[in-house]
């Protein structure tokens, strides 16, 4: 009867296994939102367009000119801000089951004996988490909010399902709930 020799997997297999685990952990962290991402716009800061060390100040309109503007155009204003609001979708069984199957298959390729069983279970659990997050990301919806400051000093938020081309500081007029250029 031939004897079995317990051999350790070649170093390349170890490196590939560790790389796969690290890649999975970074992917899970990204999908869970643990790794921050930048969603700022270049025009969000008044100081970003000013020379170094110089702060930009907004001019305060004179009260008399403000009352004249109020009487002249009650539906006129200026774009104060625009932003994208991302609403993540709901995860579901498809993502969880699909991720668990793929993760289990990948985990089953690592190691041997008891280690293979552990890797399969870990891959299935990790795959389920990642699959659920992927499904949430796929079902994500975006809304676009534009804040208009009217001549009377009030602000109003307009929400649209499509991106807008408005820039902060543009003069606008709101007619029947729709923002239009006031040039």
Over residues 48-59, the pLDDT tens digits come to 333 444 343 344
For residue range 5-38, list pLDDT tens digits in order.
666 667 777 787 787 787 777 777 666 667 665 4
- Is pTM beyond 0.75? Reply is no
For residue range 128-183, list pLDDT tens digits in order.
888 888 887 777 888 999 999 999 989 999 998 888 888 999 999 998 888 888 87
So where are the chain's domains? 66-88+141-183, 90-139
For residue range 72-92, list pLDDT tens digits in order.
688 899 999 999 988 877 777
pLDDT at 68: 53
CA distances from 59 to 21, 40, 56, 62 (A): 56, 25, 10, 9
pLDDT at 4: 59
User: Which secondary structure element, helix H or strand E, spans residue 155, and what is its range?
Assistant: strand 155-160
For residue range 86-110, list pLDDT tens digits in order.
887 777 777 788 888 888 888 878 7
Instruction: Map 18-78 to HEC letters.
Output: HHHHHHHHHHHHHHHCCCCCCCCCCCCCCHHHCCCCCCCCCCCCCHHHHHHHHHHCCCEEE
pLDDT at 81: 92
- Looking at CATH, the fold of the domain delimited by 66-88+141-183 is given as OB fold (Dihydrolipoamide Acetyltransferase, E2P) (2.40.50)
């Amino acid at each position: 009867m031939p004897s079995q020799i317990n051999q350790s997997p070649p170093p390349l297999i170890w490196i590939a296994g560790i790389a796969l685990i690290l890649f999975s952990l970074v992917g899970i962290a990204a999908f869970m939102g643990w790794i921050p991402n930048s969603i700022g716009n270049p025009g969000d800061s008044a100081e970003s367009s000013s020379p170094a060390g110089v702060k930009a100040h907004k001019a305060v309109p004179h009260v008399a000119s403000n009352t004249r503007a109020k009487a002249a155009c009650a539906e006129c204003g200026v774009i104060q801000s625009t932003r994208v609001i991302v609403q993540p979708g709901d995860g579901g069984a498809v993502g969880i089951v699909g991720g668990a199957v793929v993760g289990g298959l990948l985990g089953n390729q690592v190691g041997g004996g008891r280690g293979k069983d552990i890797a399969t279970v870990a891959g299935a659990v990790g795959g389920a988490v990642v699959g659920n997050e992927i499904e949430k990301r796929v079902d994500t919806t975006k809304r676009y909010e534009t804040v208009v400051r009217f001549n009377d000093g009030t602000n109003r938020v307009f929400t649209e399902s499509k991106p807008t081309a408005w820039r902060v500081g543009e003069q606008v007029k709101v007619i029947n709930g729709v923002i239009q250029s006031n040039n």
